[in-house]
Amino acid sequence: MLTDLSNFLSTLVPKSHDLVIAKDKSHIYSNMKYKGTRYFISSIKDAVSTPSLIRGFHRNMTESNPFIKWRRLIDDVIRSAYRLFVDLKGLDNAEQWQIDAINGSQKTLAARGPIGFFEEGSGYSWIVKEERDEKQYDVLLFRHGNDSNDVMKIAERDNYAYLITEANKGGNRKQNANIDKMPLGYDGMEVIDERFRELFHSLQYLHSNWAHDTQRTHHHLFFWSNDKIETYQSTFVKEALQRYLSSISNEYMFSVQGLILCRTDSNLQSIVMSSLERLSLKRVRPGSIFLISEGSDKMSKKSIKKYLSSVGIEIDYMHQTRSEISIHECQIETKNATEVAIIFPIWDGMWKESRDIDGEQIIFDH
């Protein structure tokens, strides 16, 4: 069954991405390469080990070469900013900032990856839009304090002027067609003060490395179905997987999700989840997506809920706030049984969305 799912998934992701069917936990561990985009597909029962699994993976990854590279690039930014702040804020304040920034950036890198450095509010540097004199500017901000409001303008770009200049370069007027396309990255940015140049260059180098680093993600998908994949409508499985892929599209380092496919066929009622599989479902986080394809059995939502419960899927547990229920729209045939897909995030013990926690946070200092 995992192979069939993998075959479906392989049609939806770029060929350069690896798909690994991990039959058990140790198989996942032993396949942890730290390059490229890789999808691990495992049975739902292994989701019970997710915190241990992801932390083990993450620990090894942060010791690997790509992370050493990011740490070096971020350290360069912090050093440049420190030199600037000695000038602007005095030695004591600059040193305090440097200590906080090193600690903070390490947490960010560990929990969010390099993208965390550029996230608005919680990161260290980001671009905002600003309108002045009927012109639109992109302004590069740098956080110089603990608060997200403690920011200073480092550089800016007059977007329209930049696009005109770019379009006219080399006298090639045809490029005017691209005039509506907004510039990306730090291209065309000018420092606001000459003293900011070193910091700007180190930021530009970090950002450019990040922007061109396309191979960087590992995804874990834990799967369960009460029937063979081939019995489901192919469009239904594809939509479920597309929704899964779309839910993880913004993840940088790793994602952990579950997928359940279930046919409400009375002949399948004896196929239920094992106790370990049911236990694994206790790792479900809020934010499940339900996809339903109606069958000729015309099951009501209440009946679907009852059926899922008989299989071992407690829908009340999964259907919490921020859940979404959709009807499969590309149905090409009416099947006897209703088909249900549930895509759900799994707690991985990493707090990667949090701005304040570097993974395992404990109250006491040791």
Partner 1 sequence: MVLLFNSMIEAKNPADFQQLTLSIQEQLRKDNSLSANSFNCFHPKWFGISDDLLVDDTICRFCGYKLSCEKFQVINHDSVEIFQLDDSSYPEKSIVESCFDGFDINGNPERTDPFMGFSSQAGNARKLFLISVANFNKFSKNNSHYKKIEPAIGYDSKFGQPIWIFDQILLNEIHKKNVLKKIQKSLSSGNFKGLKQLLFQSDEHRLRLIAIELGWCTQDSSEEDFEALKLILNRIAHVLLETSTSLKNLVIQPFLPYIDHPPNHGCSGTLNLVIRFLQFHSNILSYYSSSPMRLNDILFESQDRLVKSMISDISFVFDSLKSDDKIFRYFPRFPMIAFVPNDKMDGLELDFASGRIIDVVGSKTFEPLLLIDGLGHNLELHGPWSKC
Footprint of partner 1 (CB under 8 A): 26, 29-34, 48-49, 51-53, 55-56, 58-60, 63-64, 121-122, 147-149, 275-276, 278-279, 282-283, 285-286, 320-322, 347, 349, 351, 353-357, 359-364, 366
Least Cβ distance, residue 116 to partner 1 (angstroms):
12
Q: Which is nearer to partner 1, 57 or 200 (CB)?
A: 57
Least Cβ distance, residue 122 to partner 1 (angstroms):
6
Q: Which is nearer to partner 1, 25 or 328 (CB)?
A: 25
Angle at 68 between CA 348 and CA 253, to 5 degrees: 30
For the chain, the distance separating the N- and C-terminal CA atoms, rounded to the nearest angstrom, is: 47
For residue 135, the cross-strand partners are 132
Q: What b-and-e string marks burial along 282-298, b requiring 16 or more CB atoms within 10 Å of the CB?
A: ebbbebbbbbbbbbebe
Least Cβ distance, residue 259 to partner 1 (angstroms):
20
Sign of CA dihedral 306, 312, 317, 321: negative
Q: Which is nearer to partner 1, 52 or 215 (CB)?
A: 52
Least Cβ distance, residue 68 to partner 1 (angstroms):
12
Q: Which is nearer to partner 1, 228 or 282 (CB)?
A: 282
Helix (H), strand (E), coil (C) string for 148-210: CCCEEEEEEEEHHHHHHHHHHHHHCHHHHHHCCCCCCCCCCCEECCHHHHHHHHHHHHHHHHH
Closest C-alpha to 352, from 60, 21, 102, 119: 119
| Residue 208, amino acid | S
Q: Which is nearer to partner 1, 329 or 365 (CB)?
A: 365
Closest C-alpha to 11, from 23, 1, 19: 19
Angle at 248 between CA 243 and CA 250, to 5 degrees: 125
The distance from CA 231 to its chain's CA centroid, rounded to whole angstroms, is: 31
Least Cβ distance, residue 48 to partner 1 (angstroms):
5
Q: Which is nearer to partner 1, 241 or 308 (CB)?
A: 308
Helix axis angle, 50-62 relative to 91-112, nearest 10°?
Answer: 130
The CA distance from 354 to 39, in Å, is: 24
Q: Which is nearer to partner 1, 58 or 157 (CB)?
A: 58
Q: Which is nearer to partner 1, 53 or 259 (CB)?
A: 53
Which residue is it, tokens 């419960």? 309
Least Cβ distance, residue 283 to partner 1 (angstroms):
6
The CA distance from 248 to 47, in Å, is: 17
**Contact yes or no for 241/8 (Cβ under 8 A):** yes
Q: Which is nearer to partner 1, 332 or 362 (CB)?
A: 362
Least Cβ distance, residue 118 to partner 1 (angstroms):
14
